[in-house]
Structure 1
Amino acid sequence: MIALAVFRLAAYIRSHRVYQALLLTLAMVAIVYGSRAPRGAEVSVLTDGAVLLIPVLAWAARSLLDTEPDRQREMSAIQAGGRGKEVAAGLLAAFAACAGFAALGLAWALLLGVSQAPRSGLLASVLFLYGLSALSGTVLGALTSRAVLRSPAVSIMALILGFLVMLLVSASSLYWLTVPLIPWMRAANAGQLLDQIVPLTAVSLAWCLIGLAAYLWRRRGV
């Protein structure tokens, strides 16, 4: 499974699709961190970056999962020893790509976007949010990949609308139905991120697990 994940990640890079997500990531962080955040606003700005990265990461995950032709995917399932291992390898490769882009965005933010790094506890919370961002992007990208939505136009629209719905729902009292992006930002702005990181993480992971379950169900025999 690991070998197949590496193979799919390498194919994603060789196909040059990786540059789409790379350019989107660089453009996004260049805009968000065009000037250094003032002292005291570091956590808020870093959290905003984690939220805005999610659609870019979803695009990266979707592109990676769509790189391999359908017939090749079927052959990979046979060689890997079953559909489950092929699906797991694809998700692992997609998460690795998303984690790489998230790390790039965070590195840019810490080096060029803030006046100083947050204290250790808050920095750990921010790092955790970027990990959740990578996982959320992976799940959203998987749910809009070709194996789930055959039409490229529908797939792209679903990805964009999915992120917008995530924002709108998380801004309401029903935020627990999705990844609570707006509560992430509210907690960071209020200086309460460290205190609220556990419940926010629990809600985020719950949505990701439900999304992964839906993807796995859809991939049965596909």
Structure 2
Amino acid sequence: MTALIRMRLAGFLQTGRAAAPLLAALVVLSILYGGGQAQAGEAYGVSAAILFAVLAWQTKILLDVEPDVQRRLGRVAVGAARESAAGIVAALVAGLPVILVALVLPWLVGGVTTPGEGDPPSPRASRSASGPTCCCSCPRSPSAPCPAARCRRRRPGAWRSSSAAWWRRSCWA
């Protein structure tokens, strides 16, 4: 199976078909991060969504690089499951450089910023700093009931009485 993976990767790299997806990833990332700075989580989330299509295209090219007869011979020689697994592993190995470029390039071009003192805190951080919260994000003491009508802290056990109220189980923060 290792030889089949090496053969697919060699054919992918030697024919020059690896250049198109890598160039597309660089162009997309440059356009994405050329407009200004963003928080790391937001920036990487958007780039992951965009790079999904580039990596899918790269996988399609990698799996179609060998001729049909050679693909059938490989399937007969190692079996259908191992040949498919070799293709998936080869696609993963070929996708790692694109992923590494996508992780490093935003920092090189200055498209990602870290949170500073002037930035507003995230909602999660502000909730945890103000003490325990309930499902409606109101501050509460452990002994006081929640003022929200949908919360089970107001009516303990009420969510068990109705089959339509199954969503109340997630009211505890």
Alignment of 1:1-222 (within 5 A): 1-38=1-38, 41-79=39-77, 81-112=78-109, 113-116=111-114
Q: Work out the CA distance in 1 between the residues paired with 2:4 and 2:36.
A: 41
TM-score (norm 2): 0.61
Shift of 1:94: 1.0
After superposition, give the CA deviation of every residue in 1:82-140 in whole Å (9 maximum; x if it has no partner).
11111110111112212221121111123322134x8xxxxxxxxxxxxxxxxxxxxxx
Q: What is the CA–CA distance in structure 2 between the aligned matches of 1:60 and 1:26, rounded to whole Å?
A: 13
| Residue identity in the other structure for 2:34 | G
Once residues 15 and 26 of structure 2 are traced to their aligned partners in structure 1, the CA distance between those partners, rounded to angstroms, is 19
Flag as ranges the 4+ runs of structure 1 deviating above 3 A: none
CA contact (8 A) 1:36 1:115 kept: no
Residue pair 1:25, 1:53 contacting (<8 A) in 2 also: yes
Give distance in 2, aligned partners of 1:42 and 1:105. 12
> Aligned letter for 2:12?
Y
Gapped regions of structure 1 (runs ≥ 5):
119-189, 193-222
Q: Distance in 1 between the 2:76 and 2:31 partners?
A: 45
Percent identical? 34
Paired letter, 1:99: L
Distance 2:90 2:62 in 1: 8
Superposed displacement of residue 49, structure 1: 0.7
RMSD: 1.9
Q: Residues 5, 64 of structure 1: CA spacing in aligned structure 2 closer, same or farther, 3 A cutoff?
A: same
> CA separation in 2, counterparts of 1:42 and 1:90?
32
Max Rg structure: 2
Measured after TM superposition, the shift of residue 2 of structure 1 is: 2.0
- Name whichever of 83-92 and 104-113 sits farther off: 104-113
Q: CA offset at residue 36 of structure 1?
A: 4.6
Distance 1:42 1:8 in 2: 35
Separation (CA, whole Å) in 2 of partners of 1:111 and 1:50: 17
Q: Which has the higher helix share?
A: 1
Gaps of 5+ in 2: 116-121, 125-173
Aligned mates of 2:92, 2:51 — CA distance in 1: 14
Amino acid at match of 1:26: L
